[in-house]
Structure 1
């Protein structure tokens, strides 16, 4: 079995690859990704109705993609940290972040008419990402107390 530091390394690289890929796609292929993530009707409504709205939404999506790309790069750098206390602290923070995002989706995104059908699928993704960190924590606790 993997030691906790190699498990941490693998989870960080996986999350980093997901974040960098999604961020890059959001920046450069916004319309295509919107069609994949939503139905064509929803994607058209989310693009805005005026040229000014389209520009603002496009700029916002590009910055969100850039932020996601930067988070992926940060995760890549953190993957090489070997301090077990930091790894546990970081894993707890990431699990809490993903669970908070799922909570946000349940409380607010489900109320948006255009996103009403997308939030359950996204919550599953949030829970799966959080579960990877929780499993790392359980494995590292088991290793620590054995």
Structure 2
């Protein structure tokens, strides 16, 4: 996934969380950029089909009432981020964005996304899956409901 796609997905996620239409976000951007974005321009941005200037990223963050770093947080799963020079593993991409400055406040949506990623990674570890199964069997044995 290209960085523009990651940013675009996050813009879409934040816009939807704020119950804004494509046109409403375009109008809000116009207040900061001097000219509104069309519904189609917002749609293209959300699909990762355009690069963003620093001014546009600032306007998007202001219009969505979030931070610029929050725009870069994306649900990439295990998908690497493609940069012109090399591909960056998803964990390295997230680490750069989320842990570069521990004093930077995360917005609520960003905090939730980070927490869900962390929980998903921990719960998917094979050892924990086995321990959970052992725990369920032990609970059944203790209750006398386990039948081998």
TM over 0.5: no
Answer 1 or 2: which has greater helix percent: 1
Using structure 1 for the length normalisation, give the TM-score: 0.31
